[in-house]
Structure 1
Amino acid sequence: MMEKKKLSRREMDKLRHRRQMLAAALDLFSLKGYHNVSMHEIAGKAEFAIGTLYKFFKNKEDLYKALIMEKADEYHRALSDVLSKENDTLAVIGDYIAAKAQIFANSVAALRLYFAETRGASFNIKAGLDQDIRKLYDEMVEQLVSTMKRGIDRKVLKEGDPYYMAVALEGLTNSFLFCWLEDPKHHSYEENVQMIKEMFLNGCLAK
């Protein structure tokens, strides 16, 4: 097995600076929307000179795409890890529902941006971003479909179209996430994980 190349001090500093810039952009985009944020604002919030920001990203669109793709990749990778386990189907479904709480638990800004992007609000980004995100999403849904299919084959879930089951679970979890985003004090997603699971299985569990 090849050893991971150790990064130089200069490379580590560049990675840290890039993370700081993306974190500042995430906060601003999630609060104000893509069109209402300037590169100067991002540089100021990240406490870098505007010229330094342009050394990392050629323009605002480039920065936004990097941010969205990084967050989308983290999100779908975490869910893919859960769905790739060959555990009991009901355990995988429960873990999948819970994983969404863990992904967004420490980042309301990421959740706000996720919904803005997926619902098409405020953003109009070119450069093939939609296709890239769609590819990640489709791969994750296919894994969820495979989970449903295994559950049907094992007689754990009732006979039905595994794709529609996957879409139903996605819609249900996202609805609860949206409620949590709108009013986190009264609609905790994490506290409702068991309810979400029961609501889904009430329609899909084999008798």
Structure 2
Amino acid sequence: MDSVSRETIAQPLGRRERKKLKVKERVYSSALALFTERGYDRTSIDEIAEHADVARGTFFNYFQRKEDLVGAWGEQRRNKLRERLEVPMQSAEGSVAVRLERCMTALGDINEEEREITGAMLSAWVKAGRPLLEEPFAAEIFASIVKSGLACGEVSPDVDPERVGNLLRDVYLGTLYRWTRTQQRKGALHEELNAVLQLFLHGLLVTPESHG
């Protein structure tokens, strides 16, 4: 990002923009609270507006449909992942395995920090068809790590980074779905994610060399 872009982002918002941002955040927070309490399907736009103490029309100033709240949730999570990985991923230090572990741990922590919301919104995300509509953001991150490993000779040259990225995204989502349906101790999600990652990286078959 160049200096002009940074200065543009750093400029403070005016009073009107700040007020609009606060109202939008109140509507969004109210929606998530109701989705978590009642479920996505059983929550209406009128109920969200009442909970946020705004008129029904105000809701539509920020979100055209209830499904757009699900998209906003997904984007917020992508931003969190970007922020947590920005410095580690820019660093030249760390093997491909280490960087993949950082990514899995970050994904685990993000979900564990808001477990109840994650369970409710993950269900809404699936019902809204978002897994098919949205770009596979996590898969792209995984693939970029594998590509860097290819460039430095750490990864086998016959490996397809995009395929690996999609596989690891599938591993992440499958583990996440199971985790939301259980009552496990804190830290269990990212531990499970990294355990599956190790299996993915090192395989499950015994090689002839291992028998000595």
Q: TM-score w.r.t. structure 2 length?
A: 0.71
Structure 1: gaps (5+ residues): none
Count residues with an aligned counterpart. Answer: 191
Q: TM-score w.r.t. structure 1 length?
A: 0.72
CA distance in 1, matches of 2:150, 2:123: 31
Change in CA separation of 1:140 and 1:193 when aligned onto 2, cut-off 3 Å:
closer
CA distance in 1, matches of 2:132, 2:164: 24
Contact residue 146 and residue 162 of structure 1 kept, 8 A:
yes
Contact residue 179 and residue 189 of structure 2 kept, 8 A:
yes
Give the superposed CA RMSD. Answer: 3.3
After TM superposition, the structure 1 = structure 2 runs for residues 110-189 of structure 1, keeping only pairs within 5 Å, are 110-117=118-125, 119=126, 121=127, 123=128, 131=133, 133-134=134-135, 137=136, 140-158=138-156, 159-185=158-184, 188-189=188-189
- How many angstroms does 1:93 deviate by? 0.4
Secondary structure (helix, strand or coil) at the match of 2:29 reads: helix
Change in CA separation of 1:34 and 1:193 when aligned onto 2, cut-off 3 Å:
closer
Q: Which has the larger radius of gyration?
A: 2
User: Residue type matched to 2:112 in 1?
Assistant: A
Matching residue within 55, 67, 76 for 1:64: 67
- How many angstroms does 1:51 deviate by? 4.3
Structure 2: gaps (5+ residues): none
CA distance in 2, matches of 1:30, 1:143: 29
- How many angstroms does 1:19 deviate by? 0.6
- CA shift digits 1:77-127 (9 cap, x unpaired): 44456385344312210111011112222223245323542x4x3x379xx
CA distance in 1, matches of 2:58, 2:165: 44
Q: What does residue 201 of structure 1 align with?
A: 201
1:38 aligns with 2:41: no
User: Residue type matched to 2:111 in 1?
Assistant: F
Q: Percent identity?
A: 21
